[in-house]
Structure 1
Amino acid sequence: MKLEELFQPAKIGSLEIANRIIMTAVTTRYDFEESDRLSRFYAERAKGGVGLIITGALQTIYPSRKTGAGRINLYDDSGIPKLKEWVKAIHDNGSRAAAQLATYNYWSKKGTEGTAESVGPSSVVLPREGIHPLYSLAEYLPPDRELTLEEIGMIQEAVTAAAFRSREAGFDAVEFQCSGGNLFHRFTNPFLNRRTDRYGGNVENQMRFMTESIAKIKKKVGEDLPIICRIAGMDPVPWGMGIEYWQEIAAILQKAGVHALNIYPRWHESREPAVQMCVPRNAFVHVAEGIKKVVTIPVITNARITDPRDAEQILAAGKADFVAMTRPLIADPDLPSKAREGRIDEIRFCTACCRCYDDIFSDRFMSCSVNPQAGMEKEYAIQRAPKVKKVFILGGGPAGMEAARVAALRGHRVTLFEAKDKLGGQLLYAAIPPYKEEWKTTIGYLTAQLEKLKVEVKLNEAPTAEEIARGKPDVAIIATGAIPHILDLPGIKGPNVATAIDVLAGRKQTGRNVVVVGGGSTGCETAEFLAQKGKQVAILEMLPRIGADYGPANRYVVIDRLVAAGIRLETGVKAEAITKTGVKVIRGGLYPEFFEADTVVLSVGMVPDDEIARTLEGRVSSVLKIGDAAKPASVKEAMESAFKIAMQI
């Protein structure tokens, strides 16, 4: 498939952009002031061929609270020197840079840090029903204090000054935030904006806060500064507005002189998933298409656009003028150049696992499950090894494949042994439950890489320690994964007992009534898999929380689906024995109960399958364990441990 539209140059205002791929703003929590991590991160994406990079939010108003590392300063001149370095890194690698001007609805004045208050167009408390669990607590949703006219003017001046500083720093364009529930967004919403002055009452007045800000920027910075506005296009919250309302807003913004609209249908408080794996690819293109019908300026479509072939079709159909591929560019900064050169099979696709989101929600540096180098571009730069070594890798799961890829890139002679007839390891099973099929793309990418790098792959082979020793490798990497932990309970070996892996793999069929013992992520996904097959399912978890190992971006989404599927969720119950008709448990350490079941499915964790490592000691000079063979964990931890070990050889 030719990608002709995707790589056509286009303009936003006076700014010419080399292609139609945009990296939109993303929070990274990288330390901007103390290191050049952000510069390296964005420079790598620019080098990979993205047309325009819109920064993570630049603070335009004095910081309202401790927001973690990486909050970038445009509220005074102190951030300009560092921003100049950052913009230069982007320009030097062939991309354009736009500064997103952040206007949060939390603020404080200088000298009053820690006393932040929530402000907005009116004093309104958001409803707690139907919103993201992280925001349903009182401390996250204090009632907004209504901004005074003087404060509105002060914010407009601050945003204008920030736009001027962004031009001083060398940015090619600026972007307003009018999505995500930030301050400008709140002014557009009739539920939140109940003002009776010139900033409320009808859509034109509700937009006045923004249109006046745009006019002030044009007056101070110049008419030629390209201005992008990131708008919701629709509001997936109980108090939200639909596409028709946002079409009115889009027309007002075009009249005000905005040069492009970036459509991102999102409130931070929204309970509706937007970027998770359960969201279909290209799910929100119709919103951008609806906005494009009423404006003539370029429209950017956003969220879950993963494959450049889909992006080409969106552009060719006239549904948008640019495509945002932000998280795909985190996963593979070279996505544009690979797509341009027809190397689609070499793209490391974003799986929408939301590890990047989880890091941000948890105040950690942003990372990526499938790309260990994301945010570590300097530390993890791959270089040729000083001495070529013979490397045997035992196990063809994600850790073994990643270790083979990196070791081969460094020039080592790599042989990978896999006991089964296909590569993928635990990812083969992880991709089976509902909404998890994106993991197949990781297997496909790694498989293609091993073929390209001419790694010798031996399927259906599980060599013994003696056979490995006879091969005389310099290094043996143990990536044999993990096996299910089996509880020591009466009845555990009964014919009505199966492991989650056996069920997902189709090796064991279940009866109609199923009890899943263990409510971690694997237990939850196996339960959903069975419920979709018409089974009556209950999950028994000894801890207080179901799905405790999920990150904040996914846990509530999964729980919502389990509840909707009618799956019974029981916490604080410990399995004591399995009988022919069900499971005996103790609730709260005190009260015996019984759950009837035709089949009992065990999902109580994994243990390393590392026996070969012990038998190899003394036979091979270097024996290294990676992934689940070292410690069962997530895909991200498995991939990163493999990358690190391969870099040390």
Structure 2
Amino acid sequence: MKFKHLFEPINIEGFLLKNRITMSAMPTGFSCTNGFVSKKMVSYYAKRAKGGVSLIVVEGAAVEDKGKIYLSQLMASSETYLSGLNELAEGITKSGAFAVLQLQHGGRLAMGSNPMSASDVSFTCPCTRRDIVPTSMTGDDINATITSFTNAAVLAKKAGFHMIEINGGYGHLLSQFLSPRTNKRSDNYGGSLEGRMKLSLDIIESIKGKLGDSLPIGYQLMADELLPDGFSIDDAKVFAKRLEDCGIAYITVTSGTPESFFNGDGLFAMRSPEGGTSQISRDIKREVTIPVFATGKITNVQMVEDILASESADALALDRPLFCDPDVPVKARSERISDIIECVSCANCNDRVMKGMGADCTVNPKVGRESEEIGTGSSVKKKVLIAGSGPGGIMAALTASERGHDVTLLEKGPKLGGHLKAAPKAPGKKSWITFLDYLQNQLKESNVDVRMECGLTEEYLKDNLPDVLVIGTGVKLKKITVPVSEGREVDGPGAVLFGKKEPGENNVVIGAGFIGSEIAECIAEKGKKATLVEKLPSLAQDMDLVNRTILLRKLDEYGVQFCLNSKLVEITKDEVIIEDSTGKRVEIKADLVVNASGFNPANDFYPKAKDMVNEVHLIGDAKIPRNIHDAVHEGYQIGLNI
């Protein structure tokens, strides 16, 4: 077997896991807004269990209302939630995995205007940008929190969960007590490491006192805060030993907090290093004899196998890889590696939850729709023609073909992918290559008839008249509408991304959405001066929060200049002339000018097509210029609707 370490069983306090792939807690926002389990949530987790994962840690359930982090967070604060939690546990168990409920308290990250924490250390939340001054917890508050965790553990056992996991990571309450950055207390719960460990240890002792050894307890440990003067790996080693002494069944090693994530040091951004916490989990593993799980940015099964083979961890706690593709274990066992949908770390899933929406997946539109009654076959086979092989066009073709239609996909160029080909060229975005490779592999294995260097024309349509025509022909660059000196070239983003043009000493990028901002970084990382001209008051507003924050920091490090709230006036032979936010005329030297001001749909053939074909659909950027996520999801839905 290719992945022999991955499929070795492992015993956790009498529970024999069939393989070393577990699913770690990841917020989805799939519960109801009042914290009850939804049908959508049950179906989502059951699908992952059916996909072959050995153990599933359900996303953090808040143990009390004042610990709730987001509106649609799962709750485990009273018997009111028992029925739904039981349905969830049974759904996982009947589908083949052990069910674990993570218990969580957000502390200063909790919702509301007066959150609690170890101390009243103020900070600016990187997710919401709001300034927070938490209330320092009193002795009564601490006792009440210990009781809340204990009652939630009892509830989990009643609901049928095999184990619980205590959330002590990612900057939540228990890690706030552990960290000397956030714990400035002078009582028994602060000061030395012994004091800062006390809340976690008291919670474990209280649960054990109530339930004995009947419910194994895992602990999600922030082994390194990744911030100056924060909780360190040396402290984590000591704490891990104490956790083992207290009877913890396993430790899941995490690192970082929202503060460090937005510095680019976290686990999940596109620029985060591969391998997750495998290095520090090795350090923790050397200190204890209980199983240690690594987590973080571990994006492919070969990486999982290598981590296990190197004895850096006893098992892997994967979240986004299983969010993207619930069948990773099944596909790995049968060595169908090219069929695995790998996470690209775009952070769309997390971004949606932070904005109060349920998570979905950019690269797998089926995620979050597991409960829908979606037919796999069409009652009437149709001849479907799809023009354009961008992500939307390919997804529409694959979906329609899978449902039994006769599908032809046209691509006017020599390569598949549309504008997806440009995405991996941007700084920190090489992971998009894996999605493009996946789509191309799926096309090869499908019954889709792919015609390369064959564009959609009136003649072709007359000769190959379909029942349904899908137009996904992408975009065309918006034209510059101000005067441009004769002979002055204004290039599009592709000139820089694909290396067709080398930047000069002074370069101006017109438009500071995510594309323009990334072009500016491409220029600046080569040591050349880049200036962004933008009519809006901010940069890259069309990006997710985490990757945007990291990009803005990079632009600042490289010294990229911003001209915001500025109006483009003229492009001369040597300069770009603007009117700045004060109304002042400013002349900017420009050896290279890049137009990243936006795109228009490339759908000129649409009116004529409607006169020739009964059913015509526009998808992706050919409908409205947006992003890869929207193209993929729209293509999938069109494929279902045909």
Deviation of 1:238 (Å): 3.4
**Aligned 8 A contact 1:106 1:119 in 2:** yes
4+ residue segments displaced more than 6 Å: none
Match 1:306 to one of 299, 319, 329: 299
**Aligned 8 A contact 1:15 1:226 in 2:** no
Structure 1 stretch displaced more, 152-161 or 493-502: 493-502
Tell me which residue corresponds to 1:96.
Answer: 98
Partners of 2:437 and 2:347 in 1: CA distance: 19
Q: How does 1:192-203 map to 2 (within 5 A)?
A: 192-203=182-193
Deviation of 1:73 (Å): 2.2
Deviation of 1:382 (Å): 4.8
| 1:545-588 CA-partner distances (Å, limit 9, x unpaired) | 01111121221110001111222222111211101101000112
Partners of 2:7 and 2:528 in 1: CA distance: 48
Tell me which residue corresponds to 2:356.
Answer: 363
2:400 counterpart of 1:407: yes
**Aligned 8 A contact 2:63 2:152 in 1:** yes
Structure 1 stretch displaced more, 196-205 or 175-184: 196-205
Tell me which residue corresponds to 2:490.
Answer: 497
Match 1:35 to one of 33, 38, 44: 38
- The secondary structure found in structure 2 opposite 1:300 is strand
Q: How does 1:436-455 map to 2 (within 5 A)?
A: 436-455=429-448
Match 1:123 to one of 120, 128, 138: 120
Give unmatched runs, 5+ long, in structure 1: 109-113
Deviation of 1:264 (Å): 1.2
Normalising to structure 1: TM-score of the pair? 0.94
Tell me which residue corresponds to 1:150.
Answer: 140
Partners of 1:538 and 1:588 in 2: CA distance: 15
Match 1:487 to one of 480, 488, 498: 480
- The secondary structure found in structure 2 opposite 1:636 is helix
| 1:420-469 CA-partner distances (Å, limit 9, x unpaired) | 11111101011101211111111111111111112111111113122122
Deviation of 1:100 (Å): 0.5
Q: Quick one: structure 1 residues 527 and 493, their matched pair in 2 at CA, closer, same or farther if it must change by over 3 Å?
A: farther
Match 1:550 to one of 533, 539, 543: 543
**Aligned 8 A contact 1:372 1:639 in 2:** yes
2:539 counterpart of 1:536: no
Partners of 2:254 and 2:573 in 1: CA distance: 52
Match 2:78 to one of 65, 76, 79: 76
Q: Which amino acid aligns with 1:93?
A: S
2:61 counterpart of 1:58: yes
Partners of 1:493 and 1:288 in 2: CA distance: 61
Q: Quick one: structure 1 residues 85 and 423, their matched pair in 2 at CA, closer, same or farther if it must change by over 3 Å?
A: same
Q: How does 1:107-506 map to 2 (within 5 A)?
A: 117-126=114-123, 133-134=126-127, 137-138=130-131, 141-142=132-133, 144-270=134-260, 271-273=262-264, 274=266, 275-379=268-372, 381-491=374-484, 494-506=487-499
Q: Which amino acid aligns with 1:251?
A: K
Partners of 2:205 and 2:136 in 1: CA distance: 23
| 1:258-278 CA-partner distances (Å, limit 9, x unpaired) | 111111102123333321111
Tell me which residue corresponds to 1:606.
Answer: 599
Match 1:514 to one of 499, 507, 511: 507
Partners of 1:290 and 1:63 in 2: CA distance: 35
**Aligned 8 A contact 1:107 1:116 in 2:** no
Normalising to structure 2: TM-score of the pair? 0.95
Structure 1 stretch displaced more, 616-625 or 492-501: 492-501
- The secondary structure found in structure 1 opposite 2:127 is helix
Q: Quick one: structure 1 residues 15 and 494, their matched pair in 2 at CA, closer, same or farther if it must change by over 3 Å?
A: farther
Q: Quick one: structure 1 residues 629 and 408, their matched pair in 2 at CA, closer, same or farther if it must change by over 3 Å?
A: same
Partners of 2:382 and 2:331 in 1: CA distance: 30
2:628 counterpart of 1:635: yes
Partners of 2:250 and 2:556 in 1: CA distance: 41
- The secondary structure found in structure 2 opposite 1:204 is helix
2:576 counterpart of 1:579: no
Deviation of 1:283 (Å): 4.2
Structure 1 stretch displaced more, 147-156 or 226-235: 147-156
Partners of 1:627 and 1:116 in 2: CA distance: 40
**Aligned 8 A contact 2:66 2:115 in 1:** no
Tell me which residue corresponds to 1:563.
Answer: 556
| 1:258-315 CA-partner distances (Å, limit 9, x unpaired) | 1111111021233333211111211432121111121111111111100000000000
Partners of 1:151 and 1:117 in 2: CA distance: 13
Structure 1 stretch displaced more, 421-430 or 181-190: 181-190
Deviation of 1:502 (Å): 2.8
- The secondary structure found in structure 2 opposite 1:117 is coil
**Aligned 8 A contact 1:65 1:116 in 2:** no
| 1:302-334 CA-partner distances (Å, limit 9, x unpaired) | 111000000000000000111122111111111
**Aligned 8 A contact 2:418 2:474 in 1:** yes
| 1:89-134 CA-partner distances (Å, limit 9, x unpaired) | 11111111110011221599xxxxx9752222333334x5xxx633
2:13 counterpart of 1:13: yes
Partners of 2:396 and 2:209 in 1: CA distance: 55
| 1:39-75 CA-partner distances (Å, limit 9, x unpaired) | 0111111111111111111121234568312x22211
| 1:575-632 CA-partner distances (Å, limit 9, x unpaired) | 1110110100011262110110101000011111111222212211211111111111
| 1:388-422 CA-partner distances (Å, limit 9, x unpaired) | 11111111110111001101110111111101111
**Aligned 8 A contact 1:370 1:639 in 2:** yes
Partners of 2:24 and 2:625 in 1: CA distance: 34
Partners of 1:539 and 1:261 in 2: CA distance: 47
Partners of 1:107 and 1:133 in 2: CA distance: 10
**Over aligned residues, Cα RMSD in angstroms?**
1.9
Give unmatched runs, 5+ long, in structure 2: none
Q: Which amino acid aligns with 2:118?
A: P
- The secondary structure found in structure 2 opposite 1:98 is strand
Partners of 2:162 and 2:486 in 1: CA distance: 67
Deviation of 1:34 (Å): 7.2
Q: Which amino acid aligns with 1:349?
A: E
**Aligned 8 A contact 1:305 1:324 in 2:** no
The alignment of Structure 1 onto Structure 2 pairs a total of residues equal to 636
**Aligned 8 A contact 2:533 2:563 in 1:** yes
**Aligned 8 A contact 1:513 1:599 in 2:** yes
| 1:348-391 CA-partner distances (Å, limit 9, x unpaired) | 11110010111012111111111111112233735201111111
Q: Quick one: structure 1 residues 439 and 222, their matched pair in 2 at CA, closer, same or farther if it must change by over 3 Å?
A: same
- The secondary structure found in structure 2 opposite 1:253 is helix
Tell me which residue corresponds to 1:111.
Answer: none
**Aligned 8 A contact 1:582 1:599 in 2:** no
**Aligned 8 A contact 1:331 1:371 in 2:** yes
Partners of 2:320 and 2:449 in 1: CA distance: 32
Tell me which residue corresponds to 2:48.
Answer: 45
The percent identity for this pair of structures is: 32
Structure 1 stretch displaced more, 392-401 or 451-460: 451-460
Deviation of 1:145 (Å): 2.5
Structure 1 stretch displaced more, 77-86 or 560-569: 560-569
Q: Quick one: structure 1 residues 211 and 441, their matched pair in 2 at CA, closer, same or farther if it must change by over 3 Å?
A: same
- The secondary structure found in structure 1 opposite 2:303 is helix
Structure 1 stretch displaced more, 412-421 or 271-280: 271-280
Structure 1 stretch displaced more, 587-596 or 512-521: 587-596
Q: Quick one: structure 1 residues 241 and 41, their matched pair in 2 at CA, closer, same or farther if it must change by over 3 Å?
A: same
Match 2:88 to one of 67, 86, 89: 86
Tell me which residue corresponds to 1:24.
Answer: 24
